[in-house]
Chain A
Amino acid sequence: MSDHCGPAEPAGVAVAGRRRIALVGSPNSGKTTLFNALTGLRAKTGNYPGVTVTRYQGVAETALGPVVLEDLPGTYSLTAISPDERIVAGVLDPADDSQDTPDALILTLDATTLRRSLRLAAQVLRADLPVCVVVTFTDELTRRQGRLDLAALGRALGVPVLAVVGGRRQQLGELRELLGGPATWSRPLVPPPLDAEAVSGWVDSVLASAGYAAPELDARTRRLDAVLLHPVGGTVVFLATMFVFFQTIFTLAAPVQGLIETGFAALGDQVRASIGVDWLAGLLADGVIGGVGGVVVFLPQIALLFVLISLLEGVGYLARAAFLMDRVMARAGLEGRAFVALLSSFACAIPGIMATRTLPSTRDRIATMMGAPLMTCSARLPVYVLLIGLLVPSDARVGPIGAQGLVMFGLYLGGAVSAMLTAWLFSRLGRSAGPALPFYMEMPPYRLPSARSVLLAVYDACRGFLAKVGKIILGTTVVLWLLLNLPAPSDAELARAGVDPADSSAVASYTIDHSLAADVGRAVEPVFEPLGFDWRINVGVLASLSAREVFVATMGQVAAATNPDDPSQALADLRVQDGPRAGEPLFTAPVLAALLVFFLYALQCMSTIAVLRRESGSWRWPAIAFTYLFALAWTMALLARVVVGAVT
């Protein structure tokens, strides 16, 4: 392995001197199923140097010891038009120094689409590497009355050919035997032709030699598509599917998340009770245990999302849903498959951004990731509820509709519209870097995914999240705890300030008012002054970086509310401490509007930043997202303050 792979390179997989074999094949050709079957749970993910393309590597046992197996991005052609495809072309090209060329290739060919797949085979066989062909879905070929003579196909191609259906053990055994010695593989005497028309002739002759009879139309797929892609019926099924999808990640995960939060809170209390030193108990209970809880709490949503996505994708419905939604998403410069990611972001941007993995184009993936954080996630809800409660009286009505609900609806709508506009903008900006990619999407026949492949997808997503994102969330939580709680006031200091050490809410308020975070809040006051935020609001905004809903409890602490989880009364009583507005209520309507709008736009969530880092492969995109969203939030908040100030 060369030295340019950086820290993203998984340790322990890329051992120098170990043989490397890469899997090449078109999307839906069973490539990843084969990769998972050969490597099991030992796959590692990283990034290709310098690009936003995930690299999957794993160790596969062969007859002659382990080899490193690499699952290349699926491609229909080696004439690359996207970054993902340039990776494949680069990996297969020994003259390309930016990527390491493997020692041998496994090419997966879907038996049911052999006429098309052989065009890729022609290109792959021209690479100067030993190739072995694995034909997949031969069972489906037989079921649909097709025919293929594997031995004859092997003779026609001049390379070893074998069939592996859904990772069956015996067939895998033969493949492992073969993978032991790529040097002994037969090579084509004459490479396939290059010219497109000559390739067509070559494909015809290979198909004829292999006695290929193309499969009949899949009756099951045709019947299902007649309903699922019907202009009316299909739309109804689509909306119902998306409703169930959204409800599952939004509601089904909630009780489990509640349990996790309660569990970690109880654990924290246990620790607090058994440690005598106050600050240490607080650090362990709120910082560390709270931080771990803050990571684990995402797992139910992520697991459910990936169960649903890998089911829908494996069955073949994701392509259908994308087909139905494509025209709508095209308005935002995206394609149909981005819909699922944006919908998931209503629950939480974390699963939403992770769902962008289903998008084949890197440019679409980035554009969707940039829009996703603007969707109103569930963590914004408590903040909105608190602030709307202060802004609009509960009995205020606009016609027959409650004004509070109307404001909430406006915030949801504003988030969704802004997300689409942002995605559109970033996809336009991406377009200036190169021509728009053509849109094409294979509609695979409906197939039943194996439970194993679904579970692997879930396991992979959860493990990746814990390993790469968890560290960042935990680190942020601990740092924020330290900022908000240090320096800890001594009893003498409390006595001097006239605070009763037994009154916990008064002590908490005193601590936070004299904490490092308060210093930070005061230091950034000039930045937020035009929005009407004073240092206390700044502390809340700072604390909400660990999770937006933390804003509520932090403001409760700042205002020394008796019940920090419902601080609205204490907040309503807060007065501006100095400056021209001294003595006036802090939370006036313009300030509240500015704050609401600020929370709508700002990327106040370290978890989102961390998951952006993981899914885009570098700090570049999270940095861009944080900066532009902050600028946008500040500007829009100022606008909201001015507008609301003018009408009230």
Chain B
Amino acid sequence: MSVMSAMSLRRHAAPVLVPASVGPVEERVATLSALRCGAAGTVTGVVADDPAVAQRLVDLGFVPGTPVETVRRAPLRDPVVYRVAGYEIALRKAQADCIRIAPTA
């Protein structure tokens, strides 16, 4: 336990880079930003250039397997409020683009 400091945690924390194109449903792969208002989906993965950003989005609740819903768009279209993990959070398009989802039919 003594070596499990926050430092070692930071150093070894692997970003969750779940390939969005796994499985036979490749044509259904979309990002959160493409989800229209009121629609729901399930997070399939988080992909970002910066692993720390991907890690942060996961820490905010965008965990693979989690249901997510588009609640509201700002008057100028961006940002958008999403409901995930039991709370609401606003993301800009750049961040929503990182979140791969499978839309709920």
Contact = CB atoms under 8 A, between A and B. Distances in A.
Interface size, A (range): 35 or more
A574 interface: no
Contacts of B68: none
B90 A440 contact: yes
Interface in A4-45: none
A112 interface: yes
A330 interface: yes
B10 A327 contact: no
A323 B6 CA distance: 33
A119 B95 contact: no
Contacts of A459: none
Contact of B74 (A80, A112, A327): A327
B77 interface: yes
B27 interface: no
A79 B59 contact: yes
B4 A116 contact: no
A79 B77 CA distance: 30
Interface in B48-62: 48-50, 52-53, 55-61
Interface stretch (A93-101, A166-174, A306-314, A577-585): A93-101
Interface size, B (range): 35 or more
B4 A128 contact: yes
A127 interface: yes
Interface string A92-121: 111110000000000000001111100110
B36 interface: no
B36 to A, nearest CB: 15
Contacts of A225: 72
A327 B77 contact: yes
A322 to B, nearest CB: 8
Interface string B18-51: 0000000000000000000000000000001110
A356 to B, nearest CB: 20
Given A116-B85, A119-B61, A80 B95 contact: no
A229 B61 CA distance: 23
Contacts of B72: 225, 229
A81 B56 contact: yes
A116 B62 CA distance: 9
A79 B14 CA distance: 10
A114 B79 contact: no
A30 to B, nearest CB: 14
Contacts of A116: 60-61, 84-87
Given A79-B56, A93-B7, A191-B4, A235 B75 contact: yes
Interface stretch (A193-201, A496-504, A619-627): A193-201
Contact of B50 (A229, A323, A435): A435
A324 interface: yes
B61 A123 contact: no
A76 B60 contact: yes
A3 interface: no
B7 A95 contact: yes
Contact of A96 (B7, B12, B63): B7
Contacts of A214: 86
A532 B92 CA distance: 49
A79 B10 contact: yes
Contacts of A444: 87
B60 A440 contact: yes
Interface string A191-225: 10011110010000000000000110000000001
Interface of A: 76-81, 89, 92-96, 112-116, 119-120, 123, 126-128, 191, 194-197, 200, 214-215, 225, 229, 231-232, 234-235, 319, 323-324, 326-328, 330, 435, 438-444
17 contacts: A76-B59, A78-B9, A79-B59, A80-B52, A89-B6, A89-B10, A115-B86, A120-B59, A128-B4, A214-B86, A229-B74, A234-B75, A326-B90, A330-B92, A438-B48, A439-B94, A442-B89
